């Protein structure tokens, strides 16, 4: 793999010799490598090359975390791209980030996405995990669908906000949506065909529709057409119900999420903690 500094510093080789190259390249690589706690060679190398990712990491650490370990392993979760959460350790709170395998540019954007989740958590833009009120009455398939619905409700507006922040910082969030589109199309005809999974699909695709993307949603609707022909119409109904605006305060984001919960028919089924009152609603 050709490293980014090969061409950039080539004139220095001829002008000042290998010693200057060592000063300009090897030392910055070593310094950058020390800012990241990861056992993944790919992740460490991405941080060496990406100044904007190092800057983002430096902005996250002051949020009360003693460290931000980044693991390139999703084997213990259903997440397809990455996930992150605060974690208590003997040294103090760390922000634990897990990311998938992929190309350097893809992994870089997944890491940026997860680090910005820490920023939104610090700003309290969203809710914690939801509570299923009648979980014991659900079949295994429907319980899995309900858990997917809770994850989508929790992350829907956060992900859309993160996309826009990523773009302003020079990242490419559309890469993540391209990957999500491929996953949804591949899984369209293998998910259980229940009413709850229909709501799950409706919510996932509504949330995808408000993210930064370069493709048309019809590409995904077509894949679901054989068993859910009204999917596009149902997504549009949800969109019309909740309105086009995103949110920018903890209160407005929580209200927006509750409106989305109602729009997909989950009011009375799931409760979330209001970040302002710390009560379940």
Question: What percent of the chain shows pLDDT beyond 70?
Answer: 85
Looking at residue 130, its pLDDT comes to 81
Looking at residue 150, its pLDDT comes to 92
**pLDDT tier at 216 (50, 70, 90 boundaries)?**
very high
Chain segment 135-189, per-residue pLDDT in tens? 668 888 888 889 889 999 999 999 999 999 999 999 999 999 999 999 999 999 8
**pLDDT tier at 43 (50, 70, 90 boundaries)?**
very high
Looking at residue 26, its pLDDT comes to 39
d(CA 57, CA 137): 43
Q: Are residues 241 and 159 in the same domain?
A: yes
Judged against a pLDDT cut of 60, whether residue 237 lies above it is answered with yes
Last residue of a domain, one of 90, 123, 156: 123
Q: Is residue 2 in a domain? A: no
Last residue of a domain, one of 58, 88, 123: 123
Last residue of a domain, one of 100, 123, 146: 123
- Name the residue range of residue 221's domain: 124-281
Question: How does DSSP classify residue 72?
Answer: -
């Amino acid at each position: 793999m050709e490293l980014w500094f090969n061409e950039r510093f080539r004139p220095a080789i001829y002008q000042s010799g290998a010693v200057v190259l060592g000063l300009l390249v090897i030392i910055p690589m070593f310094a950058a490598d020390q800012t990241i706690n990861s056992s993944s060679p790919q992740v460490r190398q991405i941080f060496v090359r990406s100044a904007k990712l190092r800057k983002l990491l430096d902005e996250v650490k002051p949020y009360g975390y003693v460290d931000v370990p980044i693991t390139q392993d999703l084997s213990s979760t259903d997440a397809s791209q990455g996930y992150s959460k605060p974690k208590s350790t003997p040294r103090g709170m760390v922000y634990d980030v897990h990311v998938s395998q992929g190309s350097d540019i893809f992994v870089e954007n997944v890491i940026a996405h997860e680090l910005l989740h820490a920023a939104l958590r610090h700003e309290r833009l969203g809710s914690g995990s939801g509570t299923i009120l009648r979980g014991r009455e659900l079949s295994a398939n429907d319980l899995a669908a309900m858990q997917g619905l809770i994850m989508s409700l929790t992350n829907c507006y956060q992900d859309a906000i993160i996309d826009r922040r990523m773009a302003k910082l020079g990242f490419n969030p559309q890469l993540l949506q391209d990957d999500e589109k491929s996953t949804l199309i591949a899984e369209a005809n293998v998910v259980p065909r229940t009413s709850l999974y229909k709501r799950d699909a409706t919510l996932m695709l509504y949330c995808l529709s408000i993210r930064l993307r370069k493709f048309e949603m019809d590409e995904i609707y077509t894949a679901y057409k054989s068993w859910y022909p009204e999917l596009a119409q149902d997504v549009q109904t949800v969109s019309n119900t909740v309105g086009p605006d995103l949110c920018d305060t903890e209160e407005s984001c929580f209200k927006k999420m509750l409106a989305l919960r109602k729009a997909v028919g989950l009011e009375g089924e799931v409760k979330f903690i209001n970040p302002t009152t710390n009560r379940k609603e």
